[in-house]
Amino acid sequence: MDFTTLFNSVAALTLAVIALSEFINRFWILVDVAAQVRTLVVGVVLGMVGSGFHLGMFADLAWQGGQAWWLVGGLVGLLCGLVGNWSFATPIVQWLLAAFKITTPTISQARNEAPK
């Protein structure tokens, strides 16, 4: 498996994790940490199912050697769940900006400072 295949498959699995988590959210509404844990669990389950049935990027994992299919699928699913959790989290972006002491200008300031 090459890097491009792995990257594209992780992106596709992350999209599936987000879509399935939002679908589950219609029936089972959770907020904050519980919603994040649900997304992580969905990612791990999808990764393990894909690895167990040799779907997508998990089809050619023979190069992994003696590692168990559930371990590889679970770790990749956990990665996709983490990416799915934090992809759209604006508080984290705001925290990063505050950590580096970067202030975002207001719209009026940006319009006044724009070159004419």
26-83 confidence digits (pLDDT tens): 888 887 778 888 989 999 999 989 888 888 777 776 545 567 778 888 888 888 888 8
pLDDT at 45: 94
pLDDT band at 98 (very low <50, low <70, confident <90, very high): confident
For residue 85, what are the CA distances in angstroms to 9, 17, 47, 102, 103? 17, 9, 15, 24, 25
Looking at every residue in the chain, the average pLDDT score rounds to 78
pLDDT in tens, 16-27: 998 998 899 888
Pseudo-torsion of CA 13, 70, 58, 26, nearest 10°? -20
Least confident residue range of 1-10, 71-80, 88-97: 88-97
Q: Report d(CA 13, CA 26) in Å as an integer.
A: 20
CA 86 to chain centre: 6
Task: Give dist(CA 16, CA 40) in Å, integer.
Answer: 12
| The pLDDT value given to residue 59 | 76
Residue 10, pLDDT above cutoff 60 = yes
pLDDT recorded at residue 44: 93
Residues 6+ apart with CB under 8 A from 101: none
- Secondary structure, 3-state, the chain: CCHHHHHHHHHHHHHHHHHHHHHHHHHCCCCHHHHHHHHHHHHHHHHHHHHHCCCHHHHHHHHHCCCCHHHHHHHHHHHHHHHHHHCCCHHHHHHHHHHCCCCCCCHHHHHHHCCC
